Structure 1
Amino acid sequence: MQVLDDIWASVKGNAKTRINDPIIGAFVISWGLCNWDRLALLFLGAGKLDTRINMFTQEVSFINEPSLIWTNHALLLLPLLITAFYIFVLPSVAHAIEKKLKPTQINRHDHTVDLDLNKAIKQKELNKARLRTNPDNEFLAQEVKIDIEREKREAEVKKAEAEIKKSEAETLRNQEVESKAKVTSAELELKKRESEAKTAKLVLENHERQTKVEKNELAISTAKKNSTLASHRFPASYFFLELLSDNLKEEDVIMSLDGLTSCISTIFGYESFSNLLNDKEFTNENLEQVKYLLLDADKVTAGLSKVLINEGIEGFDSKWLIGVLEDIFETYSYQLVYPDTLADIIQDEVNNFDLSSLNGMDEIPTAIENINELIIDEYHYDDRLNEFFVSFSGSASGSHVSYSSVSGPDIELSIEARCYSIIGGAGLGEPEINGGATVKEPEENY
């Protein structure tokens, strides 16, 4: 019995494999559809079974009678034609239909993305409204404080403008009085001294008023600036997101809110956008002090490439996305730089630095006129101290401080520069330069 089971399993497996084959399966189904009447008579027809089998064999035995192939098309030709159509033509038709439907599918996807963006924007507005209505939230107190400061600044501006108008009106009236005094000076010869004294007094008052006007104009300018700063204290991160989204739309690229936040947090050196929002140092005051955004080539390239992959954006790479971000941060005078580029920039600043302030220069009788050589020894970003460090070595020369016609001793320079992190791990401020100078020992000739 085991042998029979094995034989049956082998036959069954081979038959199943052949039926599952697309060509054989398509031909079998096509042949069955084309010869359904013969099959129906074979299994359901009247008469004895051997009679039906003989009749079926005579009708389909094209090997014994090849002419049946040409006289009975349903026997072989038509099933083969249907099979070929199913295998070769039908996939091309399906592909053509899919190609025609592709623009519609893309439009549906764009509509879905726009809908998600609008939902995200509305959700952001809802979150803001909830924050404002929560009396226990610090955001509400901060917003009320900002409104009070703004109203105070506006009141100061209006008050200063009113004082300027009043001063101008008084100046105009005084000028009219002066004109009348000049016209009637001949008639008021007897009161000349009194008129001159009055005129001198008016001139003095005009001078005082003019000084007051200038002070008021300065106050207006200061008030406007403070008002602007107060109105921009709302976290600038959302403003960066809006700028990035607008710039991407100009390139016909749509990015989700998650993608936008990942780009901004990556550029500022944060692990996530939530870390950026929770950082108390991420304020407008600190943003104004940032000059450089240091790019770690490996981290930035990997992070931005991951964003493009997750967003399904094709045809663009991380280098292109960095260029878009550079255009955004140019508005804030930020420079997106790699470590080697930042080291070169700091080297240029050291070349223009007043080296007379270096330690030890007060003991060297040389007025530095030329930096003969300045070499970058090393540069790196210190994660522990959150600073970018560069060290230089070189030499300088110049004339003697007491005798300008005589060269002073050559000087050896050892200079260090540090850019401290202000925001995140990448927002750096101006470099702080310090170092020392010593007299260069003369080279011995052997």
Structure 2
Amino acid sequence: MQFLKDLISSFYKNIDARVNSPILGTLSAVFVILHWDKFTLLFLGSGTIDARVENFKLFLNEITAFDYFLLTVLMLAYLFALPVANYLIELLLGAIEQVRYRFSINQKVDREKERARLINSKYKAEHESEIAAQEIIEEIAFSNEKIEQQKLLTEDIRQRSKSAHEIIQSMLEKSKKLN
């Protein structure tokens, strides 16, 4: 009994390896896709099964080298070109997703900036009298500072004027003494 189980298991593994082989599976799929009409007649055609099988055998005997070449090209395209195309499409989709994500982030940032401006405007409107009073106090302080600077400047000019007047007086007296 164990021998029979091992034999069935071995058959199953061999069949599974052959059916799951990417090359054999692709070759089979491409062949069926290219000659779907023959397979349809084989399984669903009219007439006896023996006649349909004979017609299918005749079809298999009539396959040319060009048919094998076409099968090989299509199989290789499926096995190698499709994964490359899939990879390139994924790269493109990734780049598009990054652009979309950045755009979404920029929109959210702009919305937050607008919200901050709105909050600031509401605050100013609610506290308008306090803000105006603060601005008036700042203007008064600025004006007082300017007045103090003007006083200092005026006092400096007076001092210089007084010094200049004394110098001119002393020079006038000296010139009178010399004459």
Q: Distance in 2 between matches of 1:164 and 1:94?
A: 82
Are 2:33 and 1:33 equivalent residues in the alignment?
yes
Decide which of 79, 92, 104 is 1:87's aligned counterpart.
79
Are 2:157 and 1:169 equivalent residues in the alignment?
yes
Shift of 1:121: 1.9
Decide which of 144, 150, 161 is 1:156's aligned counterpart.
144
Q: Distance in 2 between matches of 1:131 and 1:83?
A: 71
Superposed CA offset, 1:364-399 (max 9, x none): xxxxxxxxxxxxxxxxxxxxxxxxxxxxxxxxxxxx
Q: Distance in 2 between matches of 1:82 and 1:148?
A: 85
Are 2:164 and 1:182 equivalent residues in the alignment?
no
Are 2:68 and 1:73 equivalent residues in the alignment?
yes
Q: Distance in 1 between matches of 2:44 and 2:36?
A: 11
Decide which of 108, 113, 116 is 2:105's aligned counterpart.
113
Q: Do the aligned partners of residues 99 and 142 (structure 1) sit closer, same or farther apart at CA in structure 2, a change above 3 Å counting?
A: same
CA RMSD of aligned residues (A): 3.9
Partner of 2:56: 56
Q: Distance in 1 between matches of 2:154 and 2:116?
A: 46
Identical positions, percent? 16
Once the two structures are superposed, the pairs formed by residues 15-414 of structure 1 within 5 Å of their partners are 23=22, 26-27=26-27, 29-42=29-42, 48-50=47-49, 51-60=51-60, 68=63, 70=65, 72-73=67-68, 78=71, 81-99=73-91, 105-135=97-127, 143-144=131-132, 146-186=134-174
- What TM-score do the two structures reach when normalised by structure 1? 0.29
Q: State the secondary structure of the residue aligned to 1:184.
A: helix
Residue identity opposite 1:82 in structure 2: L
Shift of 1:132: 1.6
Q: State the secondary structure of the residue aligned to 1:185.
A: helix
Q: Distance in 2 between matches of 1:28 and 1:104?
A: 36
Q: Distance in 1 between matches of 2:158 and 2:77?
A: 99
From the two aligned structures, give the one with the greater helix fraction.
2
Superposed CA offset, 1:166-187 (max 9, x none): 2233233223312221122247
Q: State the secondary structure of the residue aligned to 1:48.
A: coil
Shift of 1:90: 1.4
Residue identity opposite 2:68 in structure 1: H
Q: Distance in 2 between matches of 1:182 and 1:101?
A: 95
Shift of 1:145: 5.1
Q: Distance in 2 between matches of 1:22 and 1:153?
A: 90
Q: Distance in 1 between matches of 2:21 and 2:166?
A: 110
Equivalenced residue count is 158
Residue identity opposite 2:30 in structure 1: S
Q: Distance in 1 between matches of 2:27 and 2:176?
A: 129
| 5+ residue gaps, structure 1 | 1-16, 190-446
Q: Which runs of 4+ in 1 moved over 6 A?
A: none
Superposed CA offset, 1:58-117 (max 9, x none): 323xxxx6x84746438xx61x54344323331123323444665565455444433332
Higher alpha-carbon Rg: 2
Q: Distance in 1 between matches of 2:65 and 2:76?
A: 18
Superposed CA offset, 1:302-340 (max 9, x none): xxxxxxxxxxxxxxxxxxxxxxxxxxxxxxxxxxxxxxx
Q: Do the aligned partners of residues 53 and 121 (structure 1) sit closer, same or farther apart at CA in structure 2, a change above 3 Å counting?
A: same
